[in-house]
Chain A
Amino acid sequence: MSVKLNYACEGGNFDVAGEASAKIKKTLQRIGIPADVVRRIAIGTYEAEMNVIIHAGGGNVCAEVFPDKTIITVSDEGPGIPDIKQALQEGWSTAPDYVRQMGFGAGMGLPNMVKCSDDIDIQSTVGKGTNIVMTFKHKSEDL
């Protein structure tokens, strides 16, 4: 059995950017997922959500909550990532200046998604889009 949530994110709409992640976070808290796990999921999902809004002209954020793990899938039909290895480096960013003025575009998003999740799979095709699947185990680190 699992709980499934799906949210569409509008590209370039920074007023609502992060709402999908906030809603997913609230649901995970209500289900009773350990607080430190919820925090990791929230941070990883928020960075991925910001990426589709900033870099891909919008996309989808989906959360599937199982008893032992949560799987976050963030997909878009944007320009794709030409060199994933380069994109994963801390500090690498193609974000324009107006994004940096909003507090993003430090090139820390993808590295932090790697850090927060227990497993990450990044599939991207130039001209077609990007699909990122993050798996978070519900085992609390505090235990």
Chain B
Amino acid sequence: MLLQDIVRLLDADVLCGQDLLDRKIETCCGSDMMSDVLAFCKCNSLLCTGLTNIQVVRTADMTELSAIVFVRGKIPSDIIVAEATENNLPMLATEHTLFEACGILYQAGLKGCKRGEK
């Protein structure tokens, strides 16, 4: 599925990376714990999270995530969006809760990051 499909499915706002919405996303991880993301997320995954601090951008950089979706209507500060823009990391924001956002994407065919897989 493409990032632009995710924007539509989650009725999301695009905070940055408008020109990168043709990115292909195959796996997704939903978590507020960055250590879990670092341990279990595959590269090129989407991350749905309620956390909006700078560590989300750093974690995305290290783990090579394809995009971030902020849930529950949370919006990171301008500094964080600017850093993501610099890293070519698209950021979306949706009103859905973490559970709902993950459920919608799972139903639409997105797979999870299984533990133990790289």
Contacts and interface: CB of A to CB of B under 8 A. Distances in A.
Interface residues of A, number: 28
A46 B54 contact: no
B54 to A, nearest CB: 6
A75 interface: no
A18 B54 CA distance: 9
Interface in B26-79: 32-39, 43, 49, 51, 53-56, 58-59, 61-64
A71 interface: no
B62 A103 contact: no
Interface residues of B, number: 22
Contacts of A100: 33
B8 interface: no
Q: Of residues B53, B55, B58, which shows the largest number of chain A Cβ atoms within 10 Å of its Cβ?
A: B58
B58 A46 contact: yes
Interface of B: 32-39, 43, 49, 51, 53-56, 58-59, 61-64, 118
27 contacts: A14-B54, A14-B55, A17-B58, A18-B55, A19-B58, A21-B58, A25-B62, A36-B118, A39-B62, A42-B61, A43-B38, A43-B63, A46-B59, A47-B35, A100-B33, A102-B34, A102-B51, A102-B55, A103-B53, A103-B59, A104-B33, A104-B34, A104-B35, A106-B36, A108-B35, A109-B35, A141-B118
